[in-house]
Structure 1
């Protein structure tokens, strides 16, 4: 890791990438996107072998998304202008956007290529060098991406991918005095340690995208309950629930509670769980045995606290190997229950009934997280009130999940700070430099 950071520092200081004209950097980033699309199946299979995401989803969410992200920032990089300040007539005030220097990026195992691109593309677009550490259990696709970047013409030393344990390689990256900014997606516990490492070293800026316990609110006047159930089921169960924005808390207006839970259970029970490389699979594997055991522990605790398992709740054994869990729906969950408050990161949905708009907002905001949310209603005024009242980085209305590079993704409260995606992501990777020129 120390050698990688030193290589990134040398590459930044000698300007081999930083000083390349924007048209040159754009050409390289577009070539990276071209090669990601060329190697899309290989990249997807490498990722699936690591993390168990169902192939059809991974092809779109990993390689497809990563290529689109590199193209977005390739097109954006030469459209980021500085400013001329409204100063006195005898002074010229200029505001430049300068690259921060060496960026350290630590990404998780659930969507390594997609999330890696969210960090890499804007950082590289702005002329920075990057040292990337993948998760211990999902590095294959990012190692392949490093080779793709070299093939596309990214100069040596500008991107460095270093595998290793978080407690060793990740700590070394976060403590380095030669890293100017650190970006991370993962757990709150690790995020706290990264802030401590910044304080212990060079006070590098740290941007964190952390966990979520996202509410998905269904009102009795939802335009189509059957559609809401179908979309909501995938909003929690796709990738075995291993999605940071997963709608893991279902809040249902009491008047349609039983009907909607029945619809959700029917959707959950017809999902095919199995080998993620089987093209008919809809829900793939849990990442690891510790993750599976943690998921099952949440269910056991919920049942002990008085919840009821409507469907699922157990492990599914597969001859193909891997760790699989049945999509699970728990009803009778109250705000004080463990499964209501804490992120499972598995295919476990908690259901809580409510009677009023104010109660729905109160329940939605009753955790330490604020990453994502969903609202299903035909009442436009209510939808706007919900968007205003719910503390979350993104609020979906009459859908759950889905967005593109034009809008930011980030959280509030203990879901983190800073944003991935959109032009706002660029703010993490630039310094504002003022030139004050006496005329």
Structure 2
């Protein structure tokens, strides 16, 4: 197999993977209303790739082979951009999601230092504080869904770490952001109309929520810039306001507004989904749960890290990641994908490939305790030039949330069958919200507060 960029001066002849023998409209309906099952069925039929022809999207090539996925992620932003439509149409075209080519490279380079491990470790105390605040009211001895709690924790963490929000603005954003994200994720696969149609339409409601967010952000920017300690503040908003490109130029107000909203939207829901899956899985695997509780008391995290990775493998919040061909065309394996065609790397299918993960249906964190796996076998954050910039932050947050809860509560195990998945816009969460039963521990280890 070869990987090549087609000569931009030529008009390549498209050679697409096979497609199901269904009308385009039927393919679109099957994908819209049952994409997980539809993709699984087609992936079993076709060994490495297949093509769907979807209304409003055009050809969408699904990659289910890890080597082909590696080839896709090897292309740079000049050749592959973000799939269309995407959330940037609703979150803002000047965010990292909406930028292409050189602009994308420059913005990513500007943002990357704020997500380095040393910088994000400064947020550890905030993560623990928000976790303790939320779990203080957990009901003991009765089943409850963890997803709402995980959503509140991750949202509060990201509002404090990204915006430094507090007081009335923090309360306002706690209300606005979840509503905005839930509505935007449901509208992202639909074309954006030229007019919103008024506040009683979905796009009109989204515009109202966006205005409320922008008003909060204006107040926060004014407060940050008036802070005598502005140069030493560690929140992301302050860092963006201080940031400069190599030519000395600063981010515009629209750049900051779009980027912060995108980071808020992308930075809390998928993490909350993964945490709720972690509790759903752990409550059904008592040996892993007991070992993790002992490890938390002993200040270790090796098994906890392996468990997070196994949850992301077996229950990925986002089952696929998309790209769009920007150049005249690209070669991927035996296929020639023309300009404008879309690519979906099927993360869920690669994560259950028995060649990479023996007995993939088994929940087994031990598989991540041995030798490191090939980079193309585990893809919860995507890959290549558009790999999730906040992956280290998400990992730190999940690690601290799990550690804190295990130190303060005993989670009861269950023999109930695993929860099925439920689509929440783009992300797939546990259908029942990751229900567990907990009991407060009689004594919390000294120093674990």
Classify the TM-score, shorter chain: under 0.3
Query: Larger % of strand: which?
Result: 1
TM-score with structure 1 length normalisation?
0.24
Query: Larger % of helix: which?
Result: 2
TM-score with structure 2 length normalisation?
0.23
State the structure with bigger RCO (CA 8 A, min sep 6), 1 or 2: 2
